[in-house]
Each structure stands twice: as structure tokens, then as C-alpha cells.
Structure 1
């Protein structure tokens, strides 16, 4: 790297410049985004429509030019001398801005991707009034959340969750004991710019645990060169008397970039539609994200760090009705440190990327010792002292070092190819009186190669990958006694392939067909469990002889879009071999039913369909509708657990970009989301009734004395409907989900 830095001074400082105008009347367009996804470098046009990007390497790079109300431009540009020029006239379009997909290897727009990926911005999730990221992602068709109240949630992608869905942040794996039902996502939406969801096996790109899909969180970008930005935002939620907010600052010169964001949130127990507070559903969070980058023409490196501390109450009943913010037992105290380093070297027609990450997840759980709660508020300090004296019943430290090396080879004709090496070293350590999973070390290594072949009207993507995972777990407890865990020393390997084909049937009609295999090695809980699992009322017994889960999924999608109408249909069939599941054996231990980890082939199938209509000349009016369905069955008999109910969402939305000098970017929406009854349940689940929720919101940017302010008002479950989600872990206790919740938000750019 040091040699590479020295070499940079021998290269000329290459520049791209030009002007961007409207094709209709040739007027200059201001604040148009010009961005190189591969270089992660960009700028915006000035009032004359002029832009200039300096310090560029030689070679061919994808450029994306986008502006609200105009068609996104995406082409390959060759930087071949000191001063390259590119001027464009953008075509007006009512279709929303297309963004570059980062979670797939070739950084293309969605319409150019062979693999279908859903993308949504955090701004859009906040417009919908979501309390946290786990709730927000449920607005994406085919994505739901297994929840424990409103503070704990984890993603479900087409019926698969936990260790079958991999979460990425800052370009690295987010490792925080995902196996547990009551273990949430564990990351704040502060400092996250957008969310991408790969539905289906992504083992080719990410290895084990991506059998069911990937939730990819994109951190906020650094400021453009020679720019300084800042903002302060605040949200208030009426139902939980909750607030969250953050403040951010970022600055960039031509070579050095820096950003910092600090935020936090606090919520009391939530109220159901029956106006009852769910005891101990309160939660608090503190979050800091910062980054530093150094960029030259042919070299770029960045270092990011995220600190997050969450105190999460574990609700069990509707008891004491208080508005205290201090957690009472049982509760979790979770601290995470995420450090990532990403470096890129750019050659004339190829590039090398190295990402190294380290995560430290410290998870403590304080058990319910049945303290008297009649005078809870008077004795909060006394309880806090008792917590310190008693210590955490469960205290697990998970440390993960991961690496990802990818070489983007020189393009050969229409063929782009990436080869890579990925892996991790992970260590789990216990310090509490209880052992849920043993001390263990996990090592991964994977080799991959994937190619994208572009033709005039179609694209093909092919890939292969080979993985090896080793798990060594130490013995725990005394042989012959309850809770004893034997030593485990297992090796798993898997070979996976993926193939995709995209055909541009016409300028407006696209079809995609993808077939991919995936795998998942059994996790520590499945291999070693031997005890009562708190919160689930089960005595779980693991199986050290479990095999890899393996799957093959076929996806077919049809998409049509023109200036005023969009339509899509996505269908999938997912065949899983040796699916791991829990099954009761008819006995009890310590009053809990005994469940054994078993394996059996399973199938999941379903899909999503949607339309988006914005009639001419009423381009400000949008009518949207989408439907999602998934069915999961074991091969012999019975249904899979935690399969989301079919749902149908209908939205009427208004968007007005410019109203007057004092008010712009205005919007308003009304959404009705209906969940159908879920009668296809596993042997130890209960059926769920159907229900509909009415949500609405308005917002816009108001300018006072040259200071813009974004104001938003949203209301979810506006009719205060009492309901129980099929994916709520509180369903077995008959505890309803959150009732009416009104959110007021203000964001002030500085």
C-alpha cells in the first residue's frame, strides 16, 4: 500500500467535466448528481449546470447521472487523458430516480442487474413512521420481521430468517448471535443511507448463512470533494413517548474525507390497541458512527467505526402500567463495536479491493428474579444496584475477524469477471452463570468467481464458489448432569453455482430468470443445545451430527415500465435439503416440553406482484399496490414455522417537487396494508386472524430565512386496531401488537 501511494505522484491528475441541461428547453439543471459507483466519487452541478470531478484514474468506469424528475443516465466512460468532457441533455420522466445496487458485484442500476434486488432509502422508511430499522424493512414486498414487542426484531425474507438471512453493514458481516429468536437486528438506522435486499440464496457472493437472502445496509456517503455538510434530526413517537435523534457532520477535501454521527433513542412500554401498556417492552439505544477516508487518483482507503449500546426489555406480560424508561428484569444489555477497513487500487482496466472487518458483540442478559414491582418507580435505583450485584445470568462475547479480497479483472470484450477470497475467524466466549452455547471457534474460507456478459438486448451472469467451515466447540458442564454439552469438532464444505439471464424484450419490458444454489452450516445452538431456552418455554436438545442445509432456488420476474405505469411479477420456488427444525418428542424437563433438532427436506414457494400508476398529466399522483405470498412445507407433512401471512398493501401518494420558494418536496400518502389469516402453521404454532392497518403521512421542506427544514408527520394504525401479528413472539401469551402511533419528525441541514 505504501508503494502504491508513492506511485500516485507519478500519475497525471485526470479530470471529467461538462454541463447537464434539460432536453425539453435546454435550461441548465442545478444539483444534478454525477457519481462513479466503483470509485465512490462524485459531485453535483452548479447553477449553470456545470460539474467537474478531479483526481480520476485512467480507464473505463461506470458513471451514473441522476436528478429528480428526469431519467437516470448510466453508461461507461473512458478516462483517457488529462481532461475528458461529458455533457448531456436529460430526458424528463415521472419515474423515481434509479440507484446503483451495491450488494451485487458489478455495481449496476436495478434495470441493468441480472439478479433482482430490492432497494429503499432510510429516508423513505422514516417517512413511513417506522420506530426502528427492523420495523421499517417490512415495507419492502416479501420482507417481514419476527418481533418481540417494538424494540426487538429480525428480518424474514420469503419465509426464512435467523441464521438463514445474512446482514451486511459497512461492507462486512454483522455477527451478533443471530440464531436466537429474541436477538434483534442490533444496529441503528442513524448513519445508514439505504437498504438492499437480496431475496434468495446469495451464498455465491457471501458464503454460509446467506441461504435465504441478504439484508445489505449501505452507510452514508462521505461529502463531495471540497464540501462541508451537517444536519440535526429529531423524532417523537406518541405511543411509546419515544424519541430518537442524531447529529451528523462531514467534510471532504480532494484527498481527505471525514464524517461523524452520534444518535440515540429511548422508549417506554408500548400501548396496544386496547390501551394497555406491555410491561417491560421499553428500550434505550446509543449509537456513534464515524469514518475517515483518503483518496488519490489510483488509490482509495477508508476506515469506519460503529459503537452501539442497546438496553432491551424482554416483555412477558401486561402487568404494571408505568412510563418508566429503565429496564426491569428480564432485559438484555448489548454492546457492539464494528470496525471496517476498505481499500481499492485502480489499474488502467482492472481494480483490486480489500475489506477487513472486526466486530465485538458483548451480549448480557439479566434474568427475572421476581422482584416486587408494586413500587417500581420508587425502587428503580435499588433494582439497578441489585442488577450489578447479581451480575448477568447470560454473558456472551462474540468476536469476529472477517476479510474479503476481490479482483475485478480486465474486461474481455463484453465479459466482466470478478474473482475473490473471503473468510472469517470467530470466537464465542461465555462469562455468565448460564451457558446457552459453548465456547467455540469458527473458521470460514471461500473462493469465488463470477462473470457478467453483456449483449445488445440481454445479459448473462454466471458464478461458482467453494466454501469450507470448521467449528470447534469446547465441552461445558459435567458429564451425566443436566446441561452438559459435549465437545464438537466438525468440518463442513459446499460447492455452489448461480446462473442468471436478463432479456430486454422491448424498451419497456424486462424478464429475468435466475437459478442459484446455497448452503448453511448448522449453528452452535443447533449442534450443542441442552437446556431450557428462556422466553420460548422449551427445553432444546441439539444434534452434533447435523448436516449442511442446501438449497436450489429458481426465480422468474417480469417487469414492465413506461413514463406513467410500472408493473412487476416475481415468482420463486425454493427447494431445501436437510432443513433444520425443532420437533417436540412428547416429554418434559423442568416443566418445559422437550424439543429436538431434526432435519428433513422442505420447500418454499410464492412471490410478489405490484403496480405503480402515475397518470398523465397528473404526474404528482401515484397509485401503488403490491401483494406478497409465501408457503413453506416439510417434505413429509406439516408446515414450516414463522411463515408470514399473505399481505396486500395499497397506497395513494402525492408528490410535489416545487410549490413555491418557501415550500418544496412536499408529499402525502395513505396506505392500507391487509394481512390475511394464517392457517398454514407448524405443529407447535397457533393460527392467526387477518387484519388491516390504516397508515398516513405528510411532509415537505420549509425554508425560513434561507434555512431549510424537513418536517414530517405520520400516523400508523390510525384506527388503533387491536391485532396480533403471526410473527410476534408474544402471540403465544395473547399480547397484542402496537396500537396507534403518531410520529413527528424534523430534520435541519446545516
Structure 2
């Protein structure tokens, strides 16, 4: 049924045949007048790009008529933007050399601008850059972004934490649609492979204006890898080896593009053994493996653009409980473990109208979560020493203790109005229909139906030194669940409606070319999730008995965010400060009650405040443009109105990185090396149910480059994390309560072959 709806929506926007427009031009070095080869030339509103040839020339075909922003970027040059009227005569552009990393277009905000032009501060990192710094998983990689941490259960399970908020308070977008995979659970990871993801964008703060409920703490926006440029074919093979987990990861990709049609396909596989701590112990049952398939078909002419993407991911992840069996097996023979299948289908349609456009994104997701447990063996007389023995009869294909099917259909319709003077305006509607169904003998959350609807408008006003952006949005969520009774507990059916009106306003002031100030005020909301409303049973993954609260109301927040930036040819500095006030903050608290041998936890609400920020600089002294020194400090504090500290707030940290980069042509190109020291301070401001965490220092380093093999390039990266093999425990590790340390020394060797 949902697939039929998607097909109908596609047919509804199928375009007629229109006239075609072309644009040609050239890109030159502003200082030498020489042509710039392989510069990226891109229309963000059209999502259409190309690269310059050896003579600096470029050509676009099938362009719609109208006014569009053209962006030009190249390594070693400042990014350049200019408004262009289509059709147009041939144009010549000059770009200036710069040691500052080239900027990219920000996709997660509505007007698709360069970060330097954005009113809202957004962090952006390419996944290739995160991986070459030694990230084991995508969740591990995002912790290298200032203000972002990860709530971990071993190495295989990680959840993004943005300025102290996580789980349902941080919304994840992939392929342009919101990711729904039972993300309320602390032990539920992202379920997305880093292979096939082009870049990561992070909005640090309430983004309900753009994304509705659950974006109260921020948004992690994953951009899929791009198609090949027009009339090009590419192939890629990559392999990674991880010394600590004896893990490996392989991926193969092929993509080809004509003038209108584009195709892309990628397959990946990864497998890891139990990780080893700094003191030489392997943490039993932290092994995991992952299969991932991504594919895409694109079409674009002068009046219509379509992008159909599909992602299938199967993750098998062990759930650690104690340090026991010591081996390097990669098969999941130990209980408990998860088997998770995630299917994501997204379809983007864009209809180009005279000086305006209509965008429709629809998505369908099917998440099948199974958990295999050994809790039945206690009733059969097995002792604790047998809990981690192999049980072949319990392997996949047998009956899981917990099985949930989550189906989600989402849509996002936006109309980009014609520009009026200096105004850009967007109106839109968003919605979601979701069902949760149980098939296992345990019921963690009931069968339920969730329906979301939101309507919003936002506008941007540009002056020479000032930019203003604001908007307003109304959302409604309807949630219905059925009563259930199981061996784990009972719950009464629920029929609740939640609604909220939110707004945002931002100012960017740039009195000097080198200095910019951003001030953003925004409100956000989060409707309580099913676990918080309806739980009444043992949550084996968290080792506690949870009792929900059916009378919980919306979380409603208001955040003030101030950002200062200074940059010149030699030096960049930034300072970000925020204050986030959350009314009716939902939290879980233990009691003295015990049911079925487990301590009982209840859900409550109270007002809370979080505050802190990030501070840093980047030094790249001219003429030593190959030399870089970067430093960043981040801090966040969270308290309830009772003055009690919030749990799972990351410790303050300082990261210093020294790196060198050389761009010379020849046999060995794009050479680099780095040395990084991450210092995490003692965590003493803790919740009454937490314990203090000792600080630690982690040393990392890496080097690499590209080897020119004539018609192809091979990229080689070698990096190491925790090189001194420090035995430490992160405050955001869910294994901290069992005094289990984090991962020890890990060396990553990566090879990537582009054909």
C-alpha cells in the first residue's frame, strides 16, 4: 500500500517536455591568470554540478530558466559564489588562492548556502576525512566534531550526543528523510554504514522549525555520496583493517552518469571481534558485523529532477554484560545479541518553475529488530558461568525473545517562492505515518500507530552586511497504542494527541570581511515516546524494570546561541556559546522497589537547563600554507530545576591537532600527516545515581596520500588512536557501571582504489 502511494506521488509530478538551456564559462586563478583544473562548479538550488577541464572550462546543459546561485570551490582556493541569470552568455570567474579549507554547501538548512553565508551555525565534515582519522564506525567518527559525542555500548553501538542531549532528542536524517529505527533505546545504534555517506552536517540546537518533533537537541544530517558528473563513469574499491578488533571492512562502488540519467550502486561488509581494552582484556560479546547495500537512480532535465535511493543494512551486534570468554571469534555465538534489518527507500522530486520550485520528498522505512537472549536458561538450572557459552540452537533462524517491526512513511513538500527583492521564502508541510508491531514473546513497547503533521514557513532577508532569517511552525502528533499483557509486564492502551507552536529567528552580522557574528533564538519540542509513556516490564538491554508515565506532556525548549568567527589568510578562530532551557524535561529515575528481581525505574518530568559551548582556533601561517595547528575546547553543563545534575552529560575536553599537507603533483600526491592529543577532564558534576569519572589523554596520529597509477589513483591512509594504550573509561560508556574500560590502542590501515 505504502509503495503504491510513493508511485502515485511520483506520477503526480512527472513533467512535460520543456526547452533546454546551456551555460559555459571558465575559472581562472585571480593572481596568476592561469586556468584552474578540476574546480567544482555547482548550482545548489538545482543540485547540479560539474568540474573544470585542463583549460579551466566548464559547460552545463539542461538548465531551467531563472536566477540561481553558482558556487565554485577548489582545493587551495577560497570558495566563490555569485547569482547567475539563466540563460546567460559565457562567463569567466576568478578565484583567489587560500590556505583555508574550501567550503561546501550546507544541505541541512533551507536555503543551501555556504557555511560562511549561513545565518545558522552548522558543522560539516566529509566522512572520508573522519575515516582517515581512524574512525571504526560512523558513530565513532562524528565524535571528532566539536560539541558532538557518542553514547556507547562497546564499539558497535553508538548514539550521537549533541551538547548533552541524545536519543529521541537528536534527530538523524539520511537520504533526505528522518531515520526511524527505535532510536529511543540507549543500546540501539545508528544502523547506518559510513560507506556510501558523503558528508555529515550537525545542527547544534533546536531545529523543530525545519524538522518537527524530536529535533529539540539538534540534527545529524547524513548526505549520501554524489553521482558521477555528467558523461562520466567511476568505480571504487576500498578495504580497511583494524588492529584492535582484528576487524576488516570492504566496499565496492560503481557509478555512471549521462546528461540526464545517473546510476550508482555500492556494497559493503564489515566484521569485528571483541575489542581489547588498554589492560589487555577483551570485552566479551562486543563483536559485530554489518552488511550494507546502497543504490540510486537519478534523472534531471531543465524542468524536473528525481533521485530514487535505497539502502539495506543488516547489523548483528553482541550486547556485552561482563568480561568472560576471551577469544577473537567474529561469529555471534554468544547471547544476548541483536539482529537488525533496516530498509530505507527515498524519492526526491523537484519541479523547476519560473524563478521558483516545488520539492517533494517521500520515504519508506522498514526496521526489523530482533534480540536473542538467554534469560530462559536460569529457569532450567544453568549457572552464571554458562551464560556466555555457545548456544547453537539460539542462533539466527530460531525464535527471538524480542522482535519488533517498525514501518514508517514520511513526506516533505516544500514550495520555494520566487525571490522578492532581497527575500527568499519557503512554505511547506511535513508528515509521518508509523506503525509498530510485536512478534516476539517479550514486549518492550506496545503495538502502536503514530501520525505526525506539520506546517511551516521560513524566510531569509539579505543585506550587504546583515542577514536575517526566521520562521514559524505548527505540529500535531497523534499516538495510539493497544493494551498488552506479557510475561514481562502489562500496559493499558493509549490515545494521546500532542501539539506545539514553535519559531526561530537568527541574525548574521559581518561588519568586516574577516569577522562575523551570529545570534540565533529558537524554540523546539519533543513529544514523549512510547517507552516513556507505556513501559511496564523488564528492559533486559538496560538491566532494569521500567514503568512508564501515561500522563507525560511535551518537552518544550528555548535556546539562545551566539557564535563569533574571525578568519584571515593565516588564522581562524571561533567561539560558540549556548543556553538551552527545557520545560518538562523527561527523565528516568530509580526507586527502592524491586519487581522480578530487578530494580524499578520510573519516568518523571522537571524543568532543566543546559549551557556551555565550544572555543577554538586554526593557525596556518603564510607562506607555510602546508602547516596547520588546530585546537578546540568544548564544555556543557546540565541541571534540573532542583539543582541536581543531569546524567550522561559529557566531560569537558580539549583537542589539539598538528598536521601538514602537501598538494604537489607527481607519483605521490596529496600527502599529509597529523598528530592529535585529546584531553578529557575529570567528570565531577554528576547525577546522584552516577559515579565520578577520571580524566584521560588519548594520543593519535596518521599519515597518507595518493599514488598516481596513470589512469587511476590509489589512496593510502594509516592512522592510530590511543597509541599509548591508555586504560580508561568514558563517562558516556554504558559499560561504565560494570567498570569495563573503553577500547585500547587501535591501528587502522586503509586502501582506496579509484578507477
Q: Which of 227, 231, 236 does residue 232 from structure 2 map onto?
A: 227
Residue equivalent to 1:421 = 429
Structure 1's 101 and 6: CA in aligned 2 closer, same or farther, altered over 3 A?
closer
How far apart are residue 384 of structure 1 and its match?
3.3
How far apart are residue 617 of structure 1 and its match?
1.3
How far apart are residue 27 of structure 1 and its match?
1.1
How far apart are residue 375 of structure 1 and its match?
10
Q: Which of 33, 38, 58 does residue 51 from structure 1 map onto?
A: 58
How far apart are residue 7 of structure 1 and its match?
2.8
- SS of the aligned residue for 2:491 comes to coil
Q: Check whether the contact 1:627–1:649 (CA below 8 A) recurs between aligned residues.
A: yes
Matched, 1:39 2:46: yes
How far apart are residue 313 of structure 1 and its match?
0.3
Residue equivalent to 2:648 = 642
Q: Check whether the contact 2:452–2:476 (CA below 8 A) recurs between aligned residues.
A: yes
Take 2:262 and 2:59, find their aligned partners in 1: how far apart are those partners? Answer: 18
Q: Check whether the contact 1:404–1:422 (CA below 8 A) recurs between aligned residues.
A: yes
Take 2:497 and 2:11, find their aligned partners in 1: how far apart are those partners? Answer: 38
Q: Check whether the contact 1:351–1:408 (CA below 8 A) recurs between aligned residues.
A: yes
Take 1:5 and 1:682, find their aligned partners in 2: how far apart are those partners? Answer: 56
Q: Which of 9, 16, 19 does residue 7 from structure 1 map onto?
A: 16
Residue equivalent to 1:298 = 303
How far apart are residue 223 of structure 1 and its match?
1.0
Take 1:618 and 1:238, find their aligned partners in 2: how far apart are those partners? Answer: 35
Residues 477-496 of structure 1 mapped to structure 2, 5 A cutoff: 477=485, 483-496=489-502
Matched, 1:197 2:205: no
Q: Check whether the contact 2:15–2:304 (CA below 8 A) recurs between aligned residues.
A: no
* Farther-moved stretch of structure 1 (384-393 vs 699-708): 384-393
Q: Which of 69, 83, 87 does residue 76 from structure 2 map onto?
A: 69
Matched, 1:312 2:320: no
Residue equivalent to 1:435 = 443
Residue equivalent to 2:7 = none
Residue equivalent to 2:91 = 86
Take 2:304 and 2:313, find their aligned partners in 1: how far apart are those partners? Answer: 30
Q: Which of 148, 151, 154 does residue 156 from structure 2 map onto?
A: 151
Spell out, residue by residue over 1:79-135, the C-alpha distance to the aligned partner (whole angstroms, 9 max, x if none).
Answer: 03xx53221121111100000000000000001000000000001101111000000
Matched, 1:362 2:371: no
- SS of the aligned residue for 2:326 comes to coil
Structure 1's 241 and 227: CA in aligned 2 closer, same or farther, altered over 3 A?
same
Spell out, residue by residue over 1:550-595, the C-alpha distance to the aligned partner (whole angstroms, 9 max, x if none).
Answer: 0000000100001110000000000000000012232222222211
Structure 1's 5 and 440: CA in aligned 2 closer, same or farther, altered over 3 A?
closer
Q: Check whether the contact 2:159–2:189 (CA below 8 A) recurs between aligned residues.
A: yes
Residue equivalent to 2:471 = 463
Matched, 1:607 2:616: no
Residue equivalent to 1:269 = 274
Spell out, residue by residue over 1:703-731, the C-alpha distance to the aligned partner (whole angstroms, 9 max, x if none).
Answer: 23543210000000000000000000000
- SS of the aligned residue for 1:484 comes to strand
Take 2:49 and 2:720, find their aligned partners in 1: how far apart are those partners? Answer: 36
Spell out, residue by residue over 1:443-489, the C-alpha distance to the aligned partner (whole angstroms, 9 max, x if none).
Answer: 000000000000110100010000000100100017xx961100100
Structure 1's 14 and 717: CA in aligned 2 closer, same or farther, altered over 3 A?
same
- SS of the aligned residue for 1:396 comes to strand
Q: Check whether the contact 1:247–1:263 (CA below 8 A) recurs between aligned residues.
A: yes
TM-score by length of 2: 0.96
Residue equivalent to 2:407 = 399
Residue equivalent to 1:691 = 696
- SS of the aligned residue for 1:56 comes to coil
Q: Check whether the contact 1:15–1:84 (CA below 8 A) recurs between aligned residues.
A: no
Q: Check whether the contact 1:320–1:374 (CA below 8 A) recurs between aligned residues.
A: no
How far apart are residue 178 of structure 1 and its match?
0.7
Structure 1's 5 and 175: CA in aligned 2 closer, same or farther, altered over 3 A?
closer
Structure 1's 286 and 482: CA in aligned 2 closer, same or farther, altered over 3 A?
closer
Spell out, residue by residue over 1:352-391, the C-alpha distance to the aligned partner (whole angstroms, 9 max, x if none).
Answer: 00000000000000002557999999x96xx333335751
- SS of the aligned residue for 1:7 comes to coil
- SS of the aligned residue for 2:490 comes to coil
Take 2:190 and 2:719, find their aligned partners in 1: how far apart are those partners? Answer: 24
Take 2:722 and 2:505, find their aligned partners in 1: how far apart are those partners? Answer: 42
Q: Which of 199, 207, 210 does residue 212 from structure 2 map onto?
A: 207
How far apart are residue 38 of structure 1 and its match?
1.4
Q: Where do 5+ consecutive residues of structure 1 fail to align? A: none
Q: Check whether the contact 1:8–1:296 (CA below 8 A) recurs between aligned residues.
A: no
Residues 658-669 of structure 1 mapped to structure 2, 5 A cutoff: 658=664, 660-669=665-674
Structure 1's 179 and 34: CA in aligned 2 closer, same or farther, altered over 3 A?
same
Residue equivalent to 1:596 = 602
Q: Check whether the contact 1:642–1:726 (CA below 8 A) recurs between aligned residues.
A: yes
How far apart are residue 308 of structure 1 and its match?
0.3
Take 1:372 and 1:324, find their aligned partners in 2: how far apart are those partners? Answer: 23
- SS of the aligned residue for 1:531 comes to strand
How far apart are residue 702 of structure 1 and its match?
1.1
- SS of the aligned residue for 1:420 comes to strand
Q: Check whether the contact 2:488–2:538 (CA below 8 A) recurs between aligned residues.
A: no
How far apart are residue 5 of structure 1 and its match?
5.1
- SS of the aligned residue for 1:137 comes to helix
Matched, 1:544 2:553: no
Moved over 3 A (4+): 1-6, 369-377, 384-390, 704-707
Q: Check whether the contact 2:372–2:394 (CA below 8 A) recurs between aligned residues.
A: no
How far apart are residue 225 of structure 1 and its match?
0.9
Structure 1's 2 and 210: CA in aligned 2 closer, same or farther, altered over 3 A?
closer
Spell out, residue by residue over 1:503-527, the C-alpha distance to the aligned partner (whole angstroms, 9 max, x if none).
Answer: 0020000000000000000000000
Take 2:365 and 2:14, find their aligned partners in 1: how far apart are those partners? Answer: 28
Matched, 1:25 2:32: yes
Residue equivalent to 2:5 = none
Take 1:452 and 1:6, find their aligned partners in 2: how far apart are those partners? Answer: 29
Spell out, residue by residue over 1:615-634, the C-alpha distance to the aligned partner (whole angstroms, 9 max, x if none).
Answer: 11111000000000000000
* Farther-moved stretch of structure 1 (509-518 vs 633-642): 633-642
Residue equivalent to 1:655 = 661
Matched, 1:118 2:127: no
How far apart are residue 325 of structure 1 and its match?
0.8
How far apart are residue 674 of structure 1 and its match?
0.6
Matched, 1:246 2:251: yes
Residue equivalent to 1:712 = 717
Residue equivalent to 2:170 = 165
Report the RMSD for the aligned CA atoms in angstroms: 1.6
- SS of the aligned residue for 2:203 comes to strand
Take 1:556 and 1:710, find their aligned partners in 2: how far apart are those partners? Answer: 39
Residue equivalent to 2:508 = 502
Take 1:537 and 1:329, find their aligned partners in 2: how far apart are those partners? Answer: 14
- SS of the aligned residue for 1:168 comes to strand
Q: Check whether the contact 1:602–1:635 (CA below 8 A) recurs between aligned residues.
A: yes
TM-score by length of 1: 0.97
Take 2:169 and 2:131, find their aligned partners in 1: how far apart are those partners? Answer: 27
* Farther-moved stretch of structure 1 (568-577 vs 580-589): 580-589
Take 2:464 and 2:342, find their aligned partners in 1: how far apart are those partners? Answer: 47
Q: Where do 5+ consecutive residues of structure 2 fail to align? A: 1-9
* Farther-moved stretch of structure 1 (342-351 vs 590-599): 590-599
